[in-house]
């Protein structure tokens, strides 16, 4: 077991600067009980489903007086679920919080650790920039999927009715993450591919994001290089080596977006998931198709990045090079990745009609932080035209 995804000495130092210790390796999760003990935790709040705990080998926590398990959340978590977890936190007063599962479980654990249990106070933290509570002990995250990157980021996503919020604060960062690729072996194929698509979109969007830096672009390129092969095969190879490769890529892409945040592909994906039930990674890749073409075509005339059109074109070229293509061929290749994995590349096949596109555009542009991070200005009429091409 290594203290960082091996093979990147400089990356280990970079990871330390970012504040999240990553314990990586096959079988790493078997040390989790000892890690909890070593932190002297008397009361542990565990955010996980019962099935997830049993599959990971921690069914004994369900009957432990020291471990208090919160399973009352759903995929794409909603604020009411989070508030219920916060209320349990207040009753338990934990010394340590453990989040085990996919991105939703880890995001809920981040918010349960620090948001107030009162709805109005929690909304103030999410929407008005109010400070959260002092963190309830250390936070240990254990991903059972590879792609969300939540294990190394300081933000979490939650829905409150029609609105999507990001809890973006240092208290949302894990103290330590245990990444064991073996835990992904039981993932259904559609979950594996959707999560890998999410990581791919993280890498691409981080690479061209207006907030990108040299280090974040290095992380993004490393993730992108690792993902194009498995995804090009529809992630049909689920060997231990490929699971490790995807887990490393998820961490690299997660570290990249922790610096840059995502851009418009994610901004437009949220409504596709919340209103049409499209898995998050699939929704992001569906939107990355038209967005890549849009950014390529408009980088000269609508550039918003202070570093100029040449910088934006260099990032587009870097993505194309990872696929062995010219930029003009990338949108079609992204569509092929979807179809090779059993998903349609057309928005209309997920229930989004052409008549709904204006409302869809308004919702995407309304996610202002992500849309404004795009390197090319998003003109409403031009975006609508681009979306019609993939509807």
**How many Å apart are CA 359 and CA 354, to the nearest integer?**
10
- Would you mind telling me the total number of residues written for the chain in this entry? 391
Q: What is the DSSP letter of 265?
A: H
**How many Å apart are CA 346 and CA 354, to the nearest integer?**
11
**What's the pLDDT tens digit per position in 232-252?**
988 988 899 999 999 999 999
**How many Å apart are CA 20 and CA 198, to the nearest integer?**
21
As to burial, measured by CB atoms within 10 angstroms (0-12 exposed, 13-18 middle, 19+ buried), residue 188 is exposed
**What's the pLDDT tens digit per position in 296-326?**
999 999 999 999 999 999 999 999 999 999 9
pLDDT of residue 9: 34
Under the banding of pLDDT at 50, 70 and 90, the label for residue 359 is very high
Q: What are phi and psi of 44, to 5 degrees?
A: -120, 125
Contacts 24+ apart (CB under 8 A), 346-352: 346/390, 346/391, 347/272, 347/286, 347/387, 347/390, 347/391, 348/391, 350/272, 350/276, 350/277, 350/278, 350/286, 351/276, 352/272, 352/276, 352/391
pLDDT of residue 14: 35
Q: Of the ranges 211-220, 352-361, 366-375, which one carries the lowest mean pLDDT score? A: 366-375
pLDDT of residue 161: 87
pTM flag (> 0.95): no
pLDDT of residue 369: 85
**What's the pLDDT tens digit per position in 166-188?**
999 999 999 999 999 999 999 99
103 neighbors 47 (Cβ within 8 angstroms)? no
CA distances from 194 to 29, 134, 187, 372 (A): 23, 34, 11, 25
Does residue 119 have a pLDDT over 70? yes
Does residue 1 have a pLDDT over 60? no
**What's the pLDDT tens digit per position in 323-340?**
999 999 999 999 999 999
**Residue-range domains of the chain with CATH:** 9-183 (3.40.50.1970), 189-388 (1.20.1090.10)
């Amino acid at each position: 077991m290594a203290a960082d995804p091996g093979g990147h000495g400089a990356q280990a130092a970079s990871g330390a600067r970012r504040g999240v210790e990553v314990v990586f390796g096959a079988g790493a999760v078997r040390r989790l009980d000892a890690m909890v003990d070593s932190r002297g935790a008397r009361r542990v709040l565990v955010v996980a489903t019962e099935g997830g705990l049993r599959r990971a080998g921690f069914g004994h926590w369900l009957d432990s007086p020291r471990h208090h398990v919160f399973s009352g959340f759903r995929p794409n978590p909603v604020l009411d679920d989070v508030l219920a977890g916060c209320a349990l936190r207040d009753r338990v007063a934990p010394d340590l919080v453990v989040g085990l599962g996919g991105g939703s479980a880890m995001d809920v654990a981040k918010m349960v650790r620090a948001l107030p249990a009162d709805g109005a106070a929690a909304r103030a933290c999410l929407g008005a920039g109010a400070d959260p509570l002092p963190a309830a002990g250390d936070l240990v995250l254990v991903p059972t999927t590879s792609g969300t990157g939540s294990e190394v980021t300081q933000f979490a996503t939650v829905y409150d009715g029609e609105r999507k919020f990001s809890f973006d604060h240092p208290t949302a960062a894990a103290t330590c993450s245990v990444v064991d690729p073996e835990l992904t072996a039981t993932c259904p194929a559609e979950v594996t591919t959707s999560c890998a698509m999410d990581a791919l979109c993280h890498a691409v969007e981080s690479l061209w994001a207006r907030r990108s830096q040299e280090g974040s672009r290095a992380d993004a390129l490393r993730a992108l290089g690792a993902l194009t092969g498995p995804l090009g095969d529809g992630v049909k190879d689920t060997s231990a080596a490929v699971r490790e490769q995807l887990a490393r890529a998820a961490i690299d892409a997660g570290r990249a977006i922790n610096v840059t945040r995502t851009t418009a592909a994610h901004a437009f994906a949220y409504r596709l998931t919340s209103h049409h039930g499209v898995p998050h990674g699939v929704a992001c890749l569906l939107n990355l198709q038209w967005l890549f073409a849009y950014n390529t075509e408009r980088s000269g005339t609508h550039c918003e990045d202070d570093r100029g059109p040449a910088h934006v074109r260099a990032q587009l070229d870097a993505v194309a090079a990872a696929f062995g293509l010219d930029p003009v061929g990338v949108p079609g290749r992204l569509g092929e990745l979807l179809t090779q994995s059993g998903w349609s590349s057309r928005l209309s096949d997920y229930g989004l009609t052409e008549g709904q596109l204006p409302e869809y555009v308004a919702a995407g542009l309304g996610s202002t932080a992500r849309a404004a991070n795009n390197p090319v200005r998003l003109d409403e009429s031009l975006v609508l035209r681009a979306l019609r091409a993939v509807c």
